[in-house]
Amino acid sequence: MALPSVYLTRRIPHRAMQALRASCGSVKVWDEEDRPVPREVLLREAAQVDGLLVMLTERVDTDLLAAAPNLKAISTMSVGYDHIDIAACKARGIAVGHTPDVLTDATADHAFALLLTAARRIPEGERYVRGGEWGPWKPDLLLGQQVSGATLGILGFGRIGQGVAARAKGFNMRLLVSGGRNVAAAATAYGAQDVGLETLLEESDFISVHVPLSTETYHLIGKRELSMMKKTAILINTARGGVIDHQALYDALKGGAIAAAALDVTEPEPINPDHPLLTLDNCLIVPHIASATYQTRERMGLLAVDNLLAALNHEPLPAEVEA
């Protein structure tokens, strides 16, 4: 039987690439660092191959599937799969793999790093020093919010939300959670309270978002939800930008309805450099790097390859999207 042909929309870590090349007849990669694969190129390449390995930047929809009659497997090097029309893939009998678990620790570390960074106003302090403004020590210089002992609301208590809870326990935080599969049992395991969204918004000092993006969660945090938060609250998002209404967030941060936000994800990505959120000192934005450690990206690459090869061989995927 001929070895499969695959197309990758980005270079992946070396060991993962080697594993793929060892089992495929042809491996083609979009190799331009500075821009994602243009849509027309992706449609053309997908038409030629048995398997696709994509990133979260590529939309896999009915048009792409229609252009790819031989496609048998799709693997995304991401845990999130909101960029893929899963129902349409299933209807075509195309297996879809993703990369859960291997990125949980790195992402939870990053969410907690953002929480601490925003709480203690680290970027402002750094800009202050670099800007030559550092004068005499003062008791009220750059005061932030206390993390130890504060209440953390975790919106979406799945794998990553639970990882954040594990870290928060080291800071003696009270944990409120809402949403996620088997949330009640998981809450008990982490000593958290499973509360509704409203209680979580009203009582949390920090709110960390971990829900997947879907039609139900699009703009889940908008004007009303922001107005329910404490004026001292800090909002952290490492999930998807679309979960938060950015105009409402800007208004809340500018008007003092909440204290600060730290975003790893925005809508769209990259955020427009002229976006008003970037004018605010109390908004910290980094470029979607929650899983960006050498170790985690290698594990993600290897799992994405294992998923793709398993699907192409009609074997069970190590991590198939359940939907």
Question: Active-site residue numbers?
Answer: 240, 269, 288
What CA–CA distance (Å, rounded) separates 132 from 129? Answer: 5
Which is nearer to ligand GLV, 129 or 289 (by Cβ)? Answer: 289
SS3 194: strand
Among residues 121 and 299, whose Cβ is nearest to ligand GLV?
299
197 exposed, middle or buried (CB, 10 Å; 0-12, 13-18, 19+)? middle
Q: Shortest Cβ distance from residue 189 to ligand GLV (Å)? A: 24
Among 291, 302, 303, 305, binds ligand GLV (CB under 6 A): 291
x-or-dash string of contact with ligand GLV, 102-141, rule CB under 6 A: -x--------------------------------------
User: SS3 of 76, please?
Assistant: strand
Kindly tell me which of 153 and 241 has the beta carbon lying closer to ligand GLV.
Answer: 241
217 touches ligand GLV by CB under 6 A: no
Q: Does residue 78 touch ligand GLV according to CB under 6 A?
A: yes
Dihedral (Cα; 37, 39, 41, 44), 10-degree rounding = 140
CB of 84 to ligand GLV, least distance (A): 11
- Supply the minimum distance, in Å, between the C-beta of residue 314 and ligand GLV: 26
Told to check if 284 binds ligand GLV by CB under 6 A, we report: no
> Minimum Å distance from CB 100 to ligand GLV?
9
Give the shortest CB-101-to-ligand GLV separation in angstroms.
Answer: 11
For residue 118, give both structure tokens: 């925003």
Is the distance from CB of 71 to CB of 93 less than 8 angstroms?
Answer: no
Residue 41 vs 292, nearer CB to ligand GLV: 292
Query: Of the two residues 238 and 282, which places its CB atom closer to ligand GLV in the complex?
Result: 238
**Cα–Cα distance, 145 to 319 (Å, whole number):** 39
Q: Give the span between the Cα atoms of 190 and 243, in whole angstroms.
A: 25
CB of 264 to ligand GLV, least distance (A): 8
98 exposed, middle or buried (CB, 10 Å; 0-12, 13-18, 19+)?
buried
Nearer to ligand GLV, 12 or 258 (CB): 12
Total interface residues for ligand GLV by CB under 6 A: 6
Range in contact with ligand GLV (rule: CB under 6 A) among 23-31, 73-81, 85-93, 253-261: 73-81
DSSP 37: P
**Strand, helix or coil for residue 152:** strand
How far is residue 62's CA from residue 4's CA, in Å, rounded to a whole number? 22
- Taking CB under 6 A as the criterion, the residue among 53, 79, 154, 285 binding ligand GLV is 79
Q: Rounded to the nearest whole angstrom, what is the least distance from the CB of residue 47 to ligand GLV in the complex? A: 26
Q: Could you give the C-alpha distances from 31 to 10, 38, 307, in angstroms and in order? A: 6, 12, 22
Burial class (CB in 10 A: 0-12, 13-18, 19+), 1: exposed
Where are any strands of DSSP class E within 22-125?
26-29, 51-54, 73-76, 95-97
Residue numbers 23-62 binding ligand GLV by CB under 6 A: 56
Residue closer to ligand GLV by CB (options 269, 315) is 269
Beta-carbon contacts of residue 114 (< 8 Å; ≥ 6 apart): 236, 238, 262, 263, 264, 284, 286
**Which of 29, 47, 57, 80 contacts ligand GLV by CB under 6 A?**
80
Per CB under 6 A, the segment of 34-42, 72-80, 279-287, 310-318 that binds ligand GLV is 72-80
What are the residues binding ligand GLV (CB under 6 A)? 56, 78-80, 103, 291
